[in-house]
């Protein structure tokens, strides 16, 4: 086993930079999000590599031979299967291999672990474009979103977990002399402390962001000394499979069992998630997905659990300097990736007396019309529509759109297909806007994942704030977008939403949108309301994956 710290020294400068960023919270990126910053042929090579992988078995993993190959991913753009199959193993075998690898990984020096993990990110970086096409053709994200979210932004979140882990694992000294004066003599003890990893972790991926939502838990557990089994959504495997393959290669090159991190695949017909989650050997679970399954995960006994569930995100309108720009900002947030984001707004609360502007009061009906016009402006823009909306990932989301008329309320905008010149078969749907009254809680308190949003008329701004905070506390919220130029009302909104454990983005415009959460600065999910109990990435996200154990000797 190679236990030198050369990889740590190799990446020490980047680790130091990232550590400074997480404690000072300024704008920092370990990996640039601009595709043009990479090699001129990187895009073409990534597209070629993805195309070559289609209709072929994925053979890059180093976790043992398998007699069974599984795969059922379908491209939302091509509407055909991508034809990739992955090795499948019995659950007991996967867990046993993880337990065996844990015996080695838990004793690896912390700095050696960090060096290996950062090195894996550097290897993954060389495949950002391939991962982007894999993400595009499994999730329906646009190419640019696929590149940024599954490439540099994911790597940044992983790096964030690594350096936060280093900080927590080195918070206390390894050893100290303890001396207590007892009058005529001193009682002297030699004490030492060490962080002890909990064991095998399970990371359950989602179908819409298969790497961005997965790698924080993977790298947080790995830096803490735990091994990891990744169970991706059966319809979005390839992006995270590439990540795991590169990580396994680095482990193997450094004399470490590649089964420190394994891929565990299944099908919708024969799922293995519950079998894995309920196994006593699984000590840590990271989960992203529906609230219903998230509550099941949170109910499991004897597990350390980190969840990101569904949320009902709100927009609160009170006053603005530019109503048109405000509605354009909201419209883009609604339409981006067809609302298939955990940060997408759903409930837009507007007082019945309208919104204040320097030019005068804009009536409620004029506000609604301005929002409708802004959404239509994106739909009817031949250059912006297709890359903004992307494609619909799942049959369930598409069915929700198709049955939107049964939801209730007054449909202001109905869904229509978005033309995509590059992919004529793309499964697309434009945003649906539904007008509701504040009394229609039974409709808007439920998350309608996808391109469905509600415009809710309220008696006053106080009711807007009350309902938004109530929805967050009772049903969960990850974000809140507010437009307000009144200092007192702004403070009222911040207080109410923050007390519902929800961050507020005020008066966004230009290139700033509520959907965006930046690594090293924004805490993603507070863990305080039903939208989830974990946070990317605070100290608890690391500390709960290991325990401090102290020894004493005379």
Domains identified in the chain and CATH numbers: 12-309+533-553 (3.40.605.10), 314-506 (3.40.309.10)
Q: Hey, what are 426's tokens?
A: 């793309």
Token pair recorded at residue 260: 């420190």
Maximum separation of any 2 CA atoms in the chain, in Å: 89
Which residues are CB-neighbours of 365 under 8 A, at least 6 positions away?
none
338 burial class (0-12, 13-18, 19+ CB within 10 angstroms)?
Answer: buried
And the tokens for 267? 């099908």
For residue range 61-74, list pLDDT tens digits in order: 999 999 899 999 99
Is the per-residue pLDDT at 23 higher than 50?
Answer: yes
How far apart CA 144 and CA 518 sit, in angstroms, is: 16
Residues 455 and 350: beta-carbon distance below 8 Å: yes
Integer Cα distance of 134 and 22 in angstroms: 30
Dihedral sign for Cα atoms in the order 349, 350, 352, 353: positive
- Look at residue 310 in the predicted model and tell me its pLDDT: 86
User: What are the angstrom distances between the C-alpha of 158 and each of 29, 287, 464?
Assistant: 12, 16, 37
The enclosing H or E element of 231 equals strand 227-231
- Cα 148 from Cα 18, distance rounded (Å): 18
Confidence of residue 543 (pLDDT cuts 50, 70, 90): very high
Report percent pLDDT > 70 for the chain: 99
- Residue written as token pair 């509600």: 454
pLDDT at residue 185 is higher than 60: yes
Helix (H, G, I), strand (E, B) or coil at 355: strand
Spatial neighbors of 284 by CB under 8 A, at least 6 apart, are 198, 199, 200, 201, 202, 221, 226, 303, 304, 305, 306, 545
DSSP per residue over 238-278, as a string? Answer: HHHHHHHHHHHHHHHHTT--GGGEEE----SSS--HHHHHH
Residue 8 and residue 1: Cα distance in Å, rounded?
A: 16
User: Mean pLDDT across the stretch 164-192?
Assistant: 96
- Judged by DSSP in three states, 14 sits in helix
- What's residue 4's pLDDT? 56
How far is 164 from 18, CA to CA, in rounded Å? 9
Q: How far is CA 483 from CA 40, 341, 348, 440, in A?
A: 41, 21, 11, 23
The pLDDT tens digits of the residues spanning 275-321 come to 999 999 999 999 999 999 999 999 999 999 999 998 899 999 999 99
For residues 436-458, give the mean pLDDT.
96
Q: Counting beta carbons within 10 angstroms of the beta carbon of residue 421, is it exposed (0 to 12), middle (13 to 18) or buried (19 or more)?
A: exposed
What region, left, alpha or beta, does residue 354 occupy, with left being phi > 0 and alpha being psi -120 to 50 degrees? left
Confidence band for 2, pLDDT divided at 50, 70 and 90: very low
pLDDT at 5 over 70: no
Interior angle at CA 431, CA 429 and CA 433, nearest 5: 140
Work out the percent of the chain whose per-residue pLDDT is above 90.
Answer: 99
Mean pLDDT across 414-420: 95
What is the β-pairing status of strands 546-553 and 175-181?
Answer: unpaired
Average per-residue pLDDT in the chain? 96
Q: Where are the beta strands (DSSP E) in 419-538?
A: 432-437, 452-458, 480-483, 505-506
Question: What is the rounded distance in angstroms from the CA atom of residue 177 to the CA atom of residue 553?
Answer: 10
């Amino acid at each position: 086993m190679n236990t030198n710290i050369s990889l740590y020294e190799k990446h020490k400068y980047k680790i130091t930079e990232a550590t400074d960023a997480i404690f000072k919270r300024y704008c920092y990126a370990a990996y640039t999000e601009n595709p043009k910053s990479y090699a001129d042929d990187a895009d073409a090579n990534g597209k070629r590599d993805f195309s070559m992988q289609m209709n072929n078995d994925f053979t890059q993993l180093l976790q043992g031979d398998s007699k069974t190959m599984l795969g059922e991913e379908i491209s939302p753009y091509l509407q055909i299967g991508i034809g990739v199959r992955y090795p499948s193993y019995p659950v007991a075998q996967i867990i046993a291999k993880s337990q065996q690898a844990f015996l080695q990984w838990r004793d690896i020096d912390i700095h050696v672990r960090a060096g290996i993990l950062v090195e894996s990110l550097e290897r993954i970086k060389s495949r950002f474009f391939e991962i982007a096409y894999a993400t595009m053709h499994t999730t329906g994200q646009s190419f640019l979103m696929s590149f940024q979210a599954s490439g540099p932004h994911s790597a940044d979140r992983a790096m964030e977990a690594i350096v936060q882990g280093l900080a927590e694992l080195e918070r206390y000294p390894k050893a100290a002399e303890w001396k207590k004066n007892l009058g005529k003599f001193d009682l002297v003890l030699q004490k030492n402390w060490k962080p002890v990893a909990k064991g095998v972790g399970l990371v359950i991926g989602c179908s819409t962001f298969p790497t961005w939502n997965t790698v924080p838990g993977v790298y947080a557990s790995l830096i803490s000394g735990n091994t990891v089994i990744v169970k991706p959504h059966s319809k979005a495997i390839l992006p995270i499979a590439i990540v795991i393959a590169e990580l396994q290669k680095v482990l193997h090159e450094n004399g470490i069992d590649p089964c420190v991190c394994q891929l565990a695949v299944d099908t919708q017909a024969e799922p293995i998630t519950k079998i894995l989650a309920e196994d006593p050997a699984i000590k840590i679970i990271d989960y992203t997905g529906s609230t219903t399954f998230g509550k099941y995960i949170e109910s499991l006994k004897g597990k350390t659990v980190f969840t990101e569930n569904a949320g009902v995100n709100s927009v609160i309108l009170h006053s603005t300097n530019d109503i048109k720009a405000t509605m354009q900002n909201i419209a883009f947030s609604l339409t981006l990736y067809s609302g298939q984001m955990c940060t997408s707004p759903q409930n837009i609360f507007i007082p019945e007396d309208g919104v204040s502007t320097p030019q005068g009061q804009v009536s409620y009906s004029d506000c609604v019309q301005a929002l409708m016009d802004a959404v239509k402006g994106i739909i009817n823009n031949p250059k912006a529509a297709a890359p903004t909306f992307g494609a619909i990932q799942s049959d369930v989301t598409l069915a929700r759109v198709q049955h939107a008329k049964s939801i209730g309320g007054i449909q202001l905008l109905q869904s229509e297909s978005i033309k995509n010149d590059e992919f004529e078969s793309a499964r697309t749907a434009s945003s649906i806007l539904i007008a509701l009254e504040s009394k229609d809680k039974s409709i808007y308190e439920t998350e309608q994942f996808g391109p469905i949003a509600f415009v809710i008329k309220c008696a006053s701004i106080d009711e807007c704030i009350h309902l938004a905070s109530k929805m967050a506390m009772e049903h969960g919220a990850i974000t809140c977008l507010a437009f307000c130029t009144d200092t007192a009302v702004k403070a009222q909104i911040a207080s109410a939403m923050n007390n519902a454990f929800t961050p507020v983005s005020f008066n966004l415009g230009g290139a700033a949108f509520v959907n965006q959460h930046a690594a090293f600065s924004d805490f993603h999910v507070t863990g305080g309301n039903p939208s989830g109990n974990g946070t990317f990435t605070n100290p608890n996200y690391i500390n709960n994956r290991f325990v401090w154990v102290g020894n004493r000797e005379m």
